[in-house]
Amino acid sequence: MVKLKSNDDKEFEVEEAAVIQSEMIKNMIEDGCATSVIPLPNIDSKTLIKVIEYLNKHINMGKAAETGEEDDLKEFDEQFVNMGWEELFDVIMAANYLNIHELMELCCQSAADRLKNKSVRAVREMLKITNDLTEEEEQEIINDAPWAFEGPEIDDTVN
Partner 1 sequence: MGGILSRSNHNPNVRDLVQAPQNASCKRQRTSDSFWEHSPRLIPSLPDEISIQILARLPRIYHLSAKLVSQSWKAAIMSPELYRCRKELGTTEEWLYLLTKTEGDKLLWYAFDPISMRWQRLPPMPAIAVNDEARSGLSGLLAWNMAGSSTRLADAIKGWLGRRSALDQVPFCGCAIGAVDGCLYALGGFFRAAAMRSVWRYDPIVNAWNEVSPMSTARAYCKTGVLNGKLYVVGGVTRDRGGLSPLQSAEVFNPHTGIWSEVPSMPFSKAQMLPTAFLADLLKPIATGMTSYRGKLYVPQSLYCWPFFVDVGGEVYDPETNAWIEMPIGMGDGWPARQAGTKLSVTVEGELYALDPSSTLDSARIKVYDHQDDTWKVIEGDIPINDNSESPYLLAGFLGKLHVITKDANQNIMVMQADRQYHSVPSSSTSANSLQKFLHEVPEPVLGSEANMWRVVALRSGGSAELVSCQILDV
The DSSP secondary structure of 54-110, one letter per residue, reads HHHHTTTHHHHHHHT-HHHHHHHHHHHT-S-HHHHHHHHHHHHHHT-HHHHHHHHHH
- Residue 1 or 145: which CB sits closer to partner 1? 145
Cβ closest to partner 1, residue 67 vs residue 130: 130
The alpha carbon of 5 is separated from its chain's Cα centroid by a whole number of angstroms, namely 20
Closer of 42 and 56 to partner 1 (Cβ): 42
d(CA 45, CA 15): 17
Q: Decide the pairing of beta strands 2-5 and 37-39.
A: parallel
CB of 54 to partner 1, least distance (A): 15
Q: Which is nearer to partner 1, 2 or 106 (CB)?
A: 106
User: For partner 1, which is the closer residue by CB, 14 or 94?
Assistant: 94
Closest residue by Cα to residue 110 from 77, 71, 66: 77
Distance CA 18, CA 57 (A): 8
Could you tell me which residues come within 8 angstroms of residue 35 by beta carbon, excluding any fewer than 6 positions away? none
Contact residues toward partner 1 (CB under 8 A) are: 7, 23-24, 27, 41-42, 85-86, 89, 92-93, 95-97, 99, 101, 104-105, 108-109, 111-113, 115-117, 119-120, 123-124, 127-133, 137-138, 141-142, 144-145, 147-149, 154
Give least dist CB 12 to partner 1, A: 19
Least distance from partner 1 to the Cβ atom of residue 95, Å: 8
Give least dist CB 147 to partner 1, A.
7
To partner 1, the closest distance from the beta carbon of 139 in angstroms equals 10
